[in-house]
Structure 1
Amino acid sequence: MLKQNLQFKLSQKLSPQQIQLMKLIQLPTLAFEQRLLEEMNENPALESGKEEDDLYEKDEFDNNEDYDDYEGGESIETDDINIDEYLSNDDTPDYKLQTNNYSEEEERENPFASPVSFHQDLINQLNTFILDDIDRDIAEFLVGSIDDMGYIRRSVQDIVDDMAFTQGIYTDEANVERMLHVIHELEPSGVGARNLQECLLLQLKHKTPNQDIALAMDIIENQFEAFTKKHYDKLLQKYGISQEQLKKTIHEIEKLNPKPGGSFTGNNKVTENIVPDFAIRINDGELELSLNGRNAPSLHVSKDYQEMMQTYKESRDKSNSQKEAVQFIKQKLDSAKWFIDAIKQRQETLFVTMNAIMHFQQEYFLDGEETSLKPMILKDIADMVGLDISTVSRVANSKYVDTPYGTKLIKEFFSEAMKNDQGEDVSTLEIKKILQNVIEEEDKHKPLPDDQLADILKEKGYPIARRTIAKYREQLDIPVARMRKKI
Structure 2
Amino acid sequence: MMNKLTQSLEQRQKFLPKQILETVLLQMNSIDLEQKILEELEKNPALELQEIQESDSEQDLEEPLEEIDWEEILNFDYDEGIKGPSDRSRKNLGAPIQHVYTAVERLLDQITYLELSEKNRKIAEVIIWNIDEQGYLLTDLELLSDRLKVGIKDIEKMLQIVQRLDPPGIGARDLQECLLIQLELLGGNNLSINIIKNFFDDFANRRFERLENKLNCSKEELNESLKFISHLNPKPGEGSPTTPADYILPDLIVEEVDGELIVAVNDGNIPEIGISKKYKNLIGNVPSENDEVKKFLHNKIESAKWFVQAVQQRQINIVKVMKAIISRQDLFFSGEITQVKPMILKDIAEMTELDISTISRVTRGKYVQTPWGVFELKHFFSDGIMNQSGEEVSTNLIKSRLKSIIENEDKKDPISDDGMVEILQNEGFSLARRTIAKYRNQMKIPVARLRRIF
Q: TM-score range by the shorter chain?
A: 0.7 to 0.9
Cα deviation digits, residues 61-106 of structure 1 (max 9, x gap): xxxxxxxxxxxxxxxxxxxxxxxxxxxxxxxxxxxxxxxxxxxxx8
Q: 1:137 to 1:418 in 2, by over 3 A?
A: closer
8 Å Cα contact 2:384/2:393 also seen in 1: yes
Task: Look up the equivalent residue of 1:189 and give its one-letter code.
Answer: P
Q: Report how far residue 382 of structure 1 moved.
A: 1.1
Q: Report how far residue 465 of structure 1 moved.
A: 0.8
Corresponding residue SS for 2:293: helix
Question: Which protein is richer in helix relative to its size?
Answer: 2
In the superposition, the TM-score normalised over structure 2's length comes to 0.81
Separation of aligned partners in 2, 1:365 and 1:462: 25
Task: Look up the equivalent residue of 1:199 and give its one-letter code.
Answer: C
Mark the runs of 5 or more structure 2 residues left unpaired by the alignment: 58-91
8 Å Cα contact 1:296/1:347 also seen in 2: no
2:311 aligns with: 343
Corresponding residue SS for 1:469: helix
Q: Report how far residue 278 of structure 1 moved.
A: 0.1
Equivalent of 1:293 in 267, 283, 287 = 267
Task: Look up the equivalent residue of 1:459 and give its one-letter code.
Answer: N
Equivalent of 1:188 in 167, 171, 180 = 167
Task: Look up the equivalent residue of 2:223 and give its one-letter code.
Answer: K
Task: Look up the equivalent residue of 2:179 and give its one-letter code.
Answer: L
Separation of aligned partners in 2, 1:278 and 1:325: 42
Separation of aligned partners in 2, 1:208 and 1:5: 81
8 Å Cα contact 2:342/2:394 also seen in 1: yes
Please tell me whether residue 387 in structure 1 is matched to residue 354 in structure 2: yes
Q: Report how far residue 456 of structure 1 moved.
A: 0.7
Alignment of 1:296-315 (within 5 A): 297-311=271-285
Corresponding residue SS for 1:290: strand
2:373 aligns with: 406
Equivalent of 1:152 in 116, 128, 137 = 137
Corresponding residue SS for 1:271: helix
Q: Report how far residue 133 of structure 1 moved.
A: 5.9
1:484 aligns with: 451
Q: Report how far residue 193 of structure 1 moved.
A: 2.7
Q: Report how far residue 48 of structure 1 moved.
A: 1.8
Q: 1:107 to 1:466 in 2, by over 3 A?
A: same
- Once structures 1 and 2 are overlaid, which stretch shifts more, 198-207 or 471-480? 198-207
2:215 aligns with: 239
Q: Report how far residue 274 of structure 1 moved.
A: 3.1
2:99 aligns with: 113
Q: Report how far residue 29 of structure 1 moved.
A: 1.2
Q: Report how far residue 130 of structure 1 moved.
A: 4.9
Q: Report how far residue 308 of structure 1 moved.
A: 2.2
Task: Look up the equivalent residue of 1:38 and give its one-letter code.
Answer: E
Please tell me whether residue 320 in structure 1 is matched to residue 289 in structure 2: yes
Cα deviation digits, residues 120-144 of structure 1 (max 9, x gap): 5445544555556665555555455
Corresponding residue SS for 1:281: strand
Task: Look up the equivalent residue of 2:137 and give its one-letter code.
Answer: I
8 Å Cα contact 1:363/1:373 also seen in 2: yes
Task: Look up the equivalent residue of 2:262 and give its one-letter code.
Answer: E
Cα deviation digits, residues 394-422 of structure 1 (max 9, x gap): 11113211123332221221111110111
Q: Report how far residue 450 of structure 1 moved.
A: 0.7
Separation of aligned partners in 2, 1:188 and 1:5: 69
Corresponding residue SS for 1:293: coil
Please tell me whether residue 263 in structure 1 is matched to residue 249 in structure 2: no
Q: Report how far residue 190 of structure 1 moved.
A: 2.0
Aligned residues: 417
8 Å Cα contact 2:344/2:383 also seen in 1: yes
Tell me the C-alpha RMSD between the 2 structures: 3.2
Q: 1:159 to 1:393 in 2, by over 3 A?
A: closer
Task: Look up the equivalent residue of 1:376 and give its one-letter code.
Answer: M
Q: 1:454 to 1:343 in 2, by over 3 A?
A: same
Q: Report how far residue 339 of structure 1 moved.
A: 2.9
- Once structures 1 and 2 are overlaid, which stretch shifts more, 179-188 or 190-199? 179-188
Corresponding residue SS for 1:206: helix
Cα deviation digits, residues 243-294 of structure 1 (max 9, x gap): 33322221100001112233144x9x88365321101123454322211124
Q: 1:181 to 1:217 in 2, by over 3 A?
A: same
Q: 1:337 to 1:196 in 2, by over 3 A?
A: closer
8 Å Cα contact 1:125/1:186 also seen in 2: yes
Please tell me whether residue 359 in structure 1 is matched to residue 327 in structure 2: yes
Task: Look up the equivalent residue of 2:239 and give its one-letter code.
Answer: S
1:76 aligns with: none
2:228 aligns with: 252
Separation of aligned partners in 2, 1:30 and 1:394: 15
Corresponding residue SS for 1:373: coil
Separation of aligned partners in 1, 2:397 and 2:256: 23
Task: Look up the equivalent residue of 1:255 and give its one-letter code.
Answer: H
